[in-house]
């Protein structure tokens, strides 16, 4: 027993590895502006990377990390991930907003990356090990009309995808010409009343053109009035979607009980959620089938792990948000959760450009409809900072979020 006791004392006496610096890397390799947080440690050469991407407010997140979190974090023990997350969340007193949550996520994911590197293990091993070898993913098939959507969906199927999200005419749909009043302001117009018939016709066309074994998904993107959303979920039931995504806005989650009472269409919800109070009742009352939060929006891997465990108790599966405005670091973090979670359902995948693969060595690739992790320690992904600097973030005003109803009224995007 003596040698073990001496070894234990030796470990206790080892100095803690601490945070020495926190750096924000902004880059825009394609359309979306990305926010990467790099946490440096007192161990030479040891650092971690995390995703803090809130693409519409990148500079606000940058300021939150550099001006508020960084001074708070310097000198803290990198092993104390849970304590750092909890203290970071309450240190500013006001909490549960997307800017702060994304800032905290960047640090949180970086600390998990560091933990894995220190352990010599991928993060999924630290979460509990593999539940599967790879994560099934769905790709996006879009088009100006139903035939173009079908052709793009077939291309994905030919590449090995067995889950395809089908959209037509962008969010809000390709409705007939919108009848606007005189002097209507510019904006991204859509007609919620025309949405249902237009999209049902598109889904019907695609369903009858593709192999029955291909799973179809559709994203409403909160564009319907609640009562119309109830009707749409009923009407689309005949097509047996894998799931219907974001049928309602977070402000309208009370309507999910009415949807559930009327339709057996599987429902996925959550990309705009910020805190557990928003998804708790949907999970405990089994009103949705998939949680699909943007993990940096809720604060990182630590709360996402907790959300997955909570959802599993009630038979709800995961489908983490994974579009182009999740950074490659965030996609790697999603994959570690996917590989571990017993209640994994599906993973959204955005098909990165070759530039992104070059800029983020270790970014996973899809093979025959499955996303495979690598066995590198931590999150298994890095960033070429010199290349990232060649693609700085533009200062832009988002256009697609300036949505309007036919009479010009502002609408949720």
**What CA–CA distance (Å, rounded) separates 300 from 318?**
15
- Rounded-to-integer distance, Cα 209 and Cα 86, Å: 50
Is residue 171 flagged as an active site residue?
yes
Whether 221 sits among the annotated catalytic residues: the reply is: yes
CA 127 – CA 275 distance, rounded (Å): 21
Whole-angstrom Cα distance, residue 203 to residue 223?
17
> Minimal CA–CA distance to 299: which of 263, 330, 323?
330
C-alpha 108, offset from chain centre: 15
The 8-class DSSP code of residue 224 comes to S
Strands, E assignment, 33-148: 34-41, 47-51, 135-143
Cα distances from 51 to residues 34, 42, 254, in angstroms, run: 8, 22, 31
CA distances, 194 to each of 64, 200, 232 (Å): 42, 10, 11
Pairing status of strand 366-367 against strand 163-168: unpaired
Q: How far apart are CA 304 and CA 336, in angstroms?
A: 11
The residue behind tokens 């610096």 is: 21
Give the contacts of 158 (CB within 8 A, at least 6 positions apart): none
| Catalytic residue selected from 140, 218, 221, 321 | 221
Output the CA–CA distances (angstroms, integers) from residue 49 to 3, 140, 145, 266, in the order listed.
37, 27, 41, 35
Q: Which of 171, 357, 372, 391 is catalytic?
A: 171
- Residues labelled as active-site residues: 171, 221
């Amino acid at each position: 027993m003596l040698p073990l006791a001496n070894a234990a004392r030796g470990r206790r006496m080892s100095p803690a590895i601490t945070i020495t610096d926190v750096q924000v890397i902004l880059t825009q390799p394609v359309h979306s502006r990305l926010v990467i947080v790099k946490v440096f440690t007192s161990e030479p050469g040891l650092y971690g990377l995390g995703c803090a991407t809130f693409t519409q407010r990148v500079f606000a997140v940058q300021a939150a990390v550099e001006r508020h979190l960084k001074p708070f974090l310097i000198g803290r023990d990198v092993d104390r991930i849970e304590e750092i997350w909890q203290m970071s969340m309450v240190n500013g007193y006001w909490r549960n907003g997307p800017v702060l949550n994304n800032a905290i996520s960047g640090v949180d994911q970086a600390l998990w990356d560091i933990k894995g590197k220190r352990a010599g293990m991928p993060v999924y091993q630290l979460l509990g090990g593999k539940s599967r070898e790879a994560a099934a993913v769905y790709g996006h098939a879009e088009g100006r009309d139903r035939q173009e959507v079908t052709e793009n969906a077939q291309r994905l199927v030919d590449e090995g995808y067995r889950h395809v999200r089908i959209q037509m005419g962008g969010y809000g749909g390709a409705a007939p010409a919108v009848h606007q009043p005189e002097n209507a302001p510019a904006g991204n117009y859509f007609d919620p009343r025309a949405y249902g018939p237009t999209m049902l016709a598109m889904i019907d066309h695609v369903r009858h053109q593709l192999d029955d074994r291909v799973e179809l998904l559709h994203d409403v993107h909160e564009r319907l009035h609640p009562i119309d959303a109830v009707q749409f979920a009923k009407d689309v039931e005949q097509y047996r979607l894998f799931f219907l995504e974001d049928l309602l806005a977070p402000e309208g989650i009370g309507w999910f009980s009415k949807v559930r009472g009327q339709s057996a269409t599987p429902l996925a919800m959550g990309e705009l959620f910020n805190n557990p109070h928003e998804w708790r009742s949907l999970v405990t009352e089994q009103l949705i089938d998939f949680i699909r939060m943007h993990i940096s929006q809720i604060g990182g891997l630590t709360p996402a792990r907790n959300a997955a465990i909570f959802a599993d108790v009630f038979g709800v599966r995961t489908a983490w948000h994974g579009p182009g405005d999740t950074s490659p670091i965030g996609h790697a973090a999603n994959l570690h959760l996917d590989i571990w979670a017993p209640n994994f359902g599906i993973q959204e995948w955005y098909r990165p450009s070759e530039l992104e693969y070059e800029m983020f060595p270790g970014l996973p690739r899809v093979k025959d409809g499955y996303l495979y992790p690598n066995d590198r320690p931590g999150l298994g992904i890095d960033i070429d900072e010199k290349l990232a600097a060649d693609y700085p973030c533009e200062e832009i005003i988002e256009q697609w979020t300036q949505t309007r109803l036919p009479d010009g009224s502002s609408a949720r995007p």
